[in-house]
Amino acid sequence: MTAIVLLVVVIGAAVAVGIVVRAREGKVRAIEESASPSDARIALLESAGVRTGNAVLLHFSADWCGPCAAVRRVAGQVVSRLSDTAIPPVEVELDIDEYPALARELGVMSLPTTFVLDHNRAERFRVSGVPTATDLEDALTPLTWGPDSES
């Protein structure tokens, strides 16, 4: 009898965790305002080709990751749509196997993982899974306005 109760509890816990993970999958989550990125993070971002000046849509992928192709398509659509803005965003795709130190620094736990970085390379948004184009565009749009643009 104890084994059956334990089995039911474990299954219930697994289902609860699955529901929580599934609910967060593909959702654009805002990052609380934080200080400027550390010098170590800046160095890792620079070594990966992430520069200042424009908002950056940074996504980690791998050859063996199926959903990463969907993120690639969504990111391409969004960056293309925002290409005529005052400060168009830049898309950077990094292979997690080539940049493991940066992935660790940014806390990448699964693939695909996408970040929206502001013009100073501070993390503003994070997405685990495949985001919708609308959500990603909504996150990036405020970062593409020029200083003279109206909000």
* 76-117 pLDDT, tens digit each: 999 999 999 999 999 999 999 999 999 999 999 999 999 999
Q: What is the spatial distance between Cα 63 and Cα 59, in angstroms, rounded to a whole number?
A: 13
Q: Do residues 47 and 100 touch, judged by C-beta distance below 8 A?
A: no
pTM of the model: 0.79
Q: What is the spatial distance between Cα 102 and Cα 95, in angstroms, rounded to a whole number?
A: 10
* 27-61 pLDDT, tens digit each: 777 787 666 889 999 999 999 999 888 999 999 99
DSSP 39-79: HHHHHHHHHTT--SSS-EEEEEE-TT-SHHHHHHHHHHHHH
H-state helical runs in the chain? 2-24, 39-47, 67-81, 100-106, 133-140
